[in-house]
Amino acid sequence: MGDSPLTSHIIKHYTDGKSIGYIASVTGISEEEVLMRLRIFKSDSVQKLGNYYNDDIKKVIAKRDKNDVSRSQIAQELCMSVTFISNACKKFGDNLKKKAKFQNQYTEIDSEHDLKTCPDCDSKRVNEISGYINDHNTIGIYCLSCNGEYFRFMNEDKLYRLNYEFDEE
């Protein structure tokens, strides 16, 4: 299935930055089938020795990134970490999506959330994290289900979602 003409057609549209809905409509299959074929392509890209991805999937990711699709969206579509997506883009595309602006690095979300579950997908599969953003101490969670990162600045009640495509790492 991974090397079929239909899968090649899907990958072409995917690298061109087309939405999953658009790809489904032009190929005559469901969005779930499009995502399944992309994920099979990803699985087929694993090197047999060493258990790492070959450059084919990394080039697809970098091309999609260059066509203005967010890195977090690509990570969600392919069920991969945003860190992997960023590294693939660094190797075969752009280091940063665009010049990061302070206000674009994160988005304020519901401040009433207790951080025991993911604010976006309600998963309980979260890891507690802490660190610094712009020289400010933070506490938060990383969701293992949707790859989202959420934090609060110390001594503040506001909750934020990290926008990975603007993260300079």
Residue 139 pairs in a beta bridge with 130, 152
Of 35, 60, 92, the last residue of a domain is 92
- Tell me the mean pLDDT in the region 139-147: 87
- Cα angle for residues 106, 96, 161 (degrees, 5° grid): 15
Of 64, 92, 120, the last residue of a domain is 92
For residues 30 and 87, membership in a common domain is answered with yes
For residues 86 and 141, membership in a common domain is answered with no
For residues 74 and 127, membership in a common domain is answered with no
d(CA 11, CA 34): 9
For residues 52 and 78, membership in a common domain is answered with yes
Residue 146 domain boundaries: 102-166
- Distances in Å between the Cα of 74 and the Cα atoms of 63, 82, 164 are 11, 8, 11
For residues 15 and 46, membership in a common domain is answered with yes
For residues 107 and 87, membership in a common domain is answered with no
Residue 124's φ and ψ, nearest 5 degrees, are: -95, 0
Which DSSP state fits 122?
-
- Cα angle for residues 112, 114, 119 (degrees, 5° grid): 80
And the tokens for 138? 């933070």
Q: Is residue 97 part of a domain?
A: no
Q: Does the pLDDT of residue 6 top 60, yes or no?
A: yes
Q: pLDDT tens digits for 52-86?
A: 888 999 999 999 998 888 888 999 999 998 889 98
The amino acid that residue 85 corresponds to is I
pLDDT, residue 94, reads 75
For residues 28 and 56, membership in a common domain is answered with yes
d(CA 8, CA 77): 17
Q: Is residue 120 part of a domain?
A: yes
For residues 51 and 112, membership in a common domain is answered with no
Q: Is residue 67 part of a domain?
A: yes
d(CA 102, CA 35): 33
State if pTM tops 0.75: no
Of 92, 124, 152, the last residue of a domain is 92
- The distance between the two most distant Cα atoms of the chain, rounded to a whole number of Å, is 55
Number of domains the chain contains: 2
d(CA 115, CA 60): 34
Q: pLDDT tens digits for 24-54?
A: 999 999 999 999 999 999 988 887 666 688 8
